[in-house]
Amino acid sequence: MFKKHNHTYHIHRFKEFDEARVFIEDMSKDEESTLAAIDYMITHKEYYFLLKNLLKNIKSNKINRKMYEYALLSLDKCPKREEEKEIYRQILRTERTAFVEPLIDFLKGCSCELKDFIFSLMDENSPELRKIAIKTLQYCPDKTTDNRILQLAAKEKNPKVLREIAKYIQLFITDKQKMEEVMQKNPELKTIIKNYIQAG
């Protein structure tokens, strides 16, 4: 799981939710107070409130990457209620690399606990989100994951997604018959796998 940052310079400690809330709703205020407010929300398991406001502050450009990464890396569990998973989806859909990349790293660490959510990304219209799903699932491979990826592989057309699928197949899929069946349905995948092997 994630190792909580150890910021010994935090002096301010909030005793009440409403005191901390102000710095979570607008993360452009005093940095140390905002970090302390993030700590408060996590200690009191206010995960949804924190995640909801991370998204809000991203949209309003009131949070920097450092603060955002601190919040994600400080989480002591993988929030997985439906409303929390919807926030992950919305952040991923922003396509803002500075905020998407840390979330991908977070999802890698939560890949087994959030597998149903990651599976749902494979159904997104955005090739980038499908690619993220495959990349993240490499951190929790099992037979169910293998089957879902092979299902996508049979119909996927985007070269970037296919390359990520090829990587997963080479690392984890051992059923040669299933692989051959999929490649017959999607010859482009066969070419990409061949190139991937040759590239070493």
Sequence-distant contacts of 149-158: CB under 8 A, at least 24 apart = 149/122, 149/173, 150/178, 150/179, 150/182, 152/122, 153/182, 153/186, 153/189, 154/182, 154/185, 154/186, 155/185, 155/186, 156/130, 156/186, 156/189, 157/188, 158/127, 158/130, 158/131
Cβ burial, residue 105 (10 Å; 0-12/13-18/19+): middle
Do 44 and 17 meet the contact criterion of CB atoms below 8 Å apart?
A: yes
| Residue count (the chain) | 200
> Quick one: CA dihedral 149, 153, 156, 157, positive or negative?
positive
Predicted TM-score of the model (pTM):
0.90
Distance CA 51, CA 194 (A): 42
**Mind listing the pLDDT tens digit of every residue in the chain (200 residues)?**
444 444 444 446 899 999 999 999 999 999 999 999 999 999 999 999 999 999 999 999 999 999 999 999 999 999 999 999 999 999 999 989 999 999 999 999 999 999 999 999 999 999 999 999 999 999 999 999 999 999 999 999 999 999 999 999 999 999 989 989 999 999 999 899 888 767 76
Cβ burial, residue 62 (10 Å; 0-12/13-18/19+): middle
Residue 196: per-residue pLDDT: 74
Residue 200: per-residue pLDDT: 60
Residue 13: per-residue pLDDT: 80
